Amino acid sequence: MKRKIFFIILIIIFLSQINVEAAGVYLGSFTPQTNENFSFSISVQNLEGEIITISTSDDYFRAETNKIAASNLKLVNRDNSIPLSSRELKIEKNSLLYNFSLNFQLNLKAEYKPGLYSNIIFLKDKNKILELEVVFEIRPWMEILNGAVQSAKIENVDNRTMELLSSGQQKILIRSNTNWKLKVMITEASKDNLSIRVAADSESRSFVDYKSDFIKLNEVETVIANGSNTAKLSSGQVEIFYQLRIEDFRKVNAGEKNYQINFKLE
């Protein structure tokens, strides 16, 4: 009985020597429209010994509904960069770029979905554990690559229907890391009953929702298509083609006309 009590006391004394400290680092808010890196440092001056053990609590940085692999956070030392994970990594202090700092590089990718992401980094020496919560935000972004204002020639006549049509080869390129809506309006009032319809290339069709019918253009913004994160496409972008139509060219006065169409993402 005495041996058992003595053993329990030894375990309690041993565990009480491990000091756990907690802290947090907010890296900031990012809008990575291209792949880029963000570097930051953490002081390890308070960690003793020549060996530091590093790991994450989870193999992912997690937001409410999305996640980013923890391996996108890398420890940078004198020789290379090492992806982090929940598996413990032991590193010698003299291999660090600076003896009292751990230098990290976070890979920021255009494909990341919006959210507030967090994970915990554990830093250990023989007597101490530092729990460091790393938090960063990915903000939503969207863009029309080839300009928001478009021009098109309406010069193809259909003698059967009396319609006057553009070629239908005018193209809009869209990149986004979130859900989006494509809106269109004509910048000046027109009495020519101008209308528009859209289509998508073969790869984009499964990522874009649109109606193939002509929609009348006016000075009020109208939704003509909607879609989601374009990073899933091999090109990283959605291609939308549009065609303009004048319903009855006999009702339009002859002469050159300029119709300025404004596209907008929301």
pLDDT per residue as tens, the chain (266 positions) = 344 443 443 444 344 455 656 678 999 999 999 999 999 988 877 777 788 889 999 999 999 999 999 999 999 887 788 999 999 999 887 777 665 788 899 999 999 999 999 999 999 887 888 899 999 999 999 999 876 566 666 766 666 667 777 777 788 999 999 999 999 988 776 667 788 999 998 899 888 999 889 998 888 899 999 999 998 888 899 999 998 888 777 777 766 667 788 889 99
* Any domain includes 2: no
What domain range is 49 assigned to?
18-138
Which residue pairs from 220-223 have beta carbons closer than 8 angstroms and sit at least 24 positions apart in sequence? 220/185, 221/183, 221/184, 221/185, 221/264, 222/183, 222/184, 222/185, 223/181, 223/182, 223/183
Tally of domains within the chain: 2
Query: Among 120, 138, 156, where does a domain finish?
Result: 138
Amino acid residing at 134: V
The alpha carbon torsion through 169, 173, 178, 181 (nearest 10 deg) reads: -40
For residue 166, the model assigns a pLDDT of 78
* Any domain includes 12: no
For residue 94, the model assigns a pLDDT of 74
Do both 195 and 252 map to the same domain? Answer: yes
Do both 203 and 239 map to the same domain? Answer: yes
CATH of the domain at 158: 2.60.40
* Any domain includes 11: no
For residue 151, the model assigns a pLDDT of 63
End-to-end CA distance of the chain: 74
* Residue position matching structure tokens 């404004």: 262
Do both 219 and 106 map to the same domain? Answer: no
36's CB contacts (< 8 A; 6+ apart) are 108
The answer to whether 165 and 244 have CB atoms below 8 angstroms apart is yes
Do both 154 and 239 map to the same domain? Answer: yes
Do both 219 and 149 map to the same domain? Answer: yes
Do both 26 and 126 map to the same domain? Answer: yes
Backbone angles phi, psi at 238, to 5 degrees: -100, 140
* Any domain includes 1: no
Of 26, 30, 107, 116, nearest to 65 by C-alpha is 116
Query: Among 123, 138, 153, where does a domain finish?
Result: 138
| Whole-model pTM over 0.85 | no
Of 113, 26, 123, nearest to 62 by C-alpha is 113
For residue 219, the model assigns a pLDDT of 83
Do both 174 and 113 map to the same domain? Answer: no
Query: Among 85, 118, 138, where does a domain finish?
Result: 138
* Any domain includes 36: yes
DSSP three-state, residue 52: strand
